[in-house]
Structure 1
Amino acid sequence: MLLINFLCWLLIVVDVDAVHRGVGLEICTQARCKPDGPAIRFPFQLKGKQSIHCGYHGFDLSCTNDNEIVLKMPASSDNLFVERIDYTSQEIEIYYRSNHPPREFFDLSLSSSPLQFMPGPHNYNYTLFSCPYLEERLSYGFCLIKLGPYHLDNPENQTYAVNAQCSVDRIPLVSCTKLHDYTSIPDISTFAMKKIMKLHWSKPSCRHCEEMGKACRSKISEYSLAHVQTAESECLDLPKGII
């Protein structure tokens, strides 16, 4: 009887210890969309090839039919393509194929996104307007920039970004509706030419793991957006292909 009680107590202790130490948290294999493409590992998660527990919400990636990496923003009608991921500096480069910068870039400035614009001297405040299409609005360059499509349910209207450094009174905004103010956005007039943008993430932090040549994962099993800013990470002595 004493032996049975002891064994039951031991099982309870082991079970509780496993929960607190994170034993049983999923260990995920590193993935790629193509052999020479960027490696995808924690905190990113590749849809269709990795479990949703392999990364955080907001770091969701997928592969196109051409094996390119896509970062899909919520409620977006356009794809953002991933050029490079640097896990040591915690930076990611994305680009867009349209002739006009996409509106979803502005949503990255919101606090709800774990991926943020890099701070810099050429960041500006912008106001977005929805306007009926007019040819004369296309000649205001730095001050008024046409954006790529965002909501397909109203194709008659165009979305424009107005730089806060410009005088709104001198820009043709007749019949336009103000949508939202955004702060500290990189110069999108430059982006319209080179079509590449650099973002960074501060949480979760895995720099120390990368610098030691170790893999990184979260200490908890909750991978929702609400846990990104509070979760702690841990380093694992595993082969580079495992996270």
Structure 2
Amino acid sequence: MDTTKTNLLFLFNLVLFVDYSFSQLCFDSSCGVGEPTIRFPFQLQNLQPKSCGYPGFNLSCKASQQTVIGLPNSGQFTVQGIDYQMQHIWLNDPDSCLPRRLLTLNLSGSPFSGYFYQSFAFFNCTFDYTKYKLNPIGCLSGQNYTVFASSSERAVSFLASRCSLISSVDVPVQWTFPEPVATSDLSEDILLSWAAPLCGRCETRGGRCGLKSNSSTDTECTHTSRRGLPRGARYAIIAGAGVPALLFLVGLVCCLCGKVKRLACRRRLRSVDSASSAAVAPQSLVTTDGLDSSTIESYPKTILGESRRLPKPDDSICSICLSEYKPKETLRSIPECQHCFHADCVDQWLKLKASCPVCRNSPKRMSIDILVS
């Protein structure tokens, strides 16, 4: 009888230990379909243990399954995307009026800071200047007044003589441009980054970053390949000739795909005159001369991370070679319209045509030029 009680007590304690150990495991999670994947240094409350996150990186889920983060001095923001390798996070306003939040944005007390900053002046105007191709901020405007935000000295000078200055704000934008923006509704996501914990290198190596212990904030990287030997190579040694042959085949297919994409890009450029009438909205071309290399190189470039976040969320495919963007590919954007393309594709295009392949507007022309009239 005593032996039976001892065995039952042992089994009961074993179940409790297994249950506790399982509950402390850190699994990737998310608030819903299409929402960002959450892992260290972030911790999703009620879905992941506190030990799975770093202090200041707590997230939660709204009833609408949106991922939300609370900044100590600025309130709650929705999380639009996370790049763990680059250590970037994209935020927006849950109430769809990001410009109002930017007027009081304060990142002190949080582990985040802006990656790119651009200064914008906010103006309250009693006259609607949209006929000058100035983009108003709809959620801050009313029936008898219109609010504009500009980073252009010419636009600021134009508005300052006609409107009331609300405030000048350094906005953590996603991109910086060679030429300032005339006006913007500032509805695009803001881009922030974090310096600690430093887990980007671990993520790049395919590792798993986490706390060394619950009593410290020291981190460690686990599950990475040792001694520089790739995991695929170790499997190849074990499996023999079968896996190397498969890897060779995969590499060959990837090489052929790259050549096909480059060939498609060249064919697209050769047939631009005939294809433009069917693939692009009919607009008049401003010029037929191409741009010089120095002008093209001045347009911003970026390397995509895991999240593949772009200024225009619908731009997931290069309109020149018709290939979907992939992580670590280099993209270039045209400042005036913010349309993005593979850098190699758009460089060749702009050498032949000084116009955006999508909207057909000339990169040389700035909308704010109308202000001088």
TM-score, with normalisation over the residues of structure 1? 0.55
Q: How far apart, CA to CA, are the structure 2 residues paired with 1:138 and 1:42?
A: 47
Give 1:40 shift. 0.7
Q: Which of 147, 163, 173 pairs up with 1:172?
A: 163
Of 102-111 and 51-60, deviating more is 102-111
Distance 1:109 1:40 in 2: 24
Range with greater deviation from structure 2 (51-60 or 139-148): 139-148
Question: Based on CA coordinates, which of the two structures has the bigger radius of gyration?
Answer: 2
Deviates most, 94-103 or 59-68: 94-103
2:119 corresponds to which letter in structure 1?
A: N
The CA distance in 2 between the partners of 1:99 and 1:136, in whole Å, is 24
Deviation at 1:44, TM superposition (A): 1.0
Q: Aligned partners of 1:218 and 1:234: how far apart in 2?
A: 6
1:210 shift after superposition: 1.2
Shift of 1:100: 3.6
1:125 equivalent in alignment to 2:122: no
Asked if 1:198 is matched to 2:195, the reply is no
Aligned Cα root-mean-square deviation (Å):
4.3
Q: 1:45 to 1:102 in 2, by over 3 A?
A: farther
Structure 1, unaligned stretches of length 5 or more? 1-25, 149-157, 224-230, 239-243
More RCO (CA 8 Å, sep 6+): 1
CA distance in 2, matches of 1:171, 1:91: 39
Residue 3 of structure 1 is matched in structure 2 by none
Counterpart amino acid of residue 88 in structure 1: Q
Map Cα deviations across residues 187-218 of structure 1 (whole Å, 9 max, x no partner).
Answer: 682643xx333332222111222123221123
**Corresponding residue of 1:235:** 221
> Which of 41, 52, 65 is the aligned partner of 1:43?
41
- Conservation of the 8 A alpha-carbon contact between 2:135 and 2:148: no
Residues 115 and 172 of structure 1: CA distance in aligned 2, closer, same or farther (over 3 Å): same
The answer to whether the 8 A contact 1:82-1:95 is kept is yes
Structure with more of its chain in strand, by fraction: 1
Aligned partner of 1:189 in structure 2 is: 184
Q: Aligned partners of 2:184, 2:134: CA distance in 1, in Å?
A: 6
Unaligned runs of 5+ in 2: 1-23, 141-145, 174-180, 225-373
SS of 2:202's equivalent?
Answer: helix
- Structure number with the higher helix fraction is 2
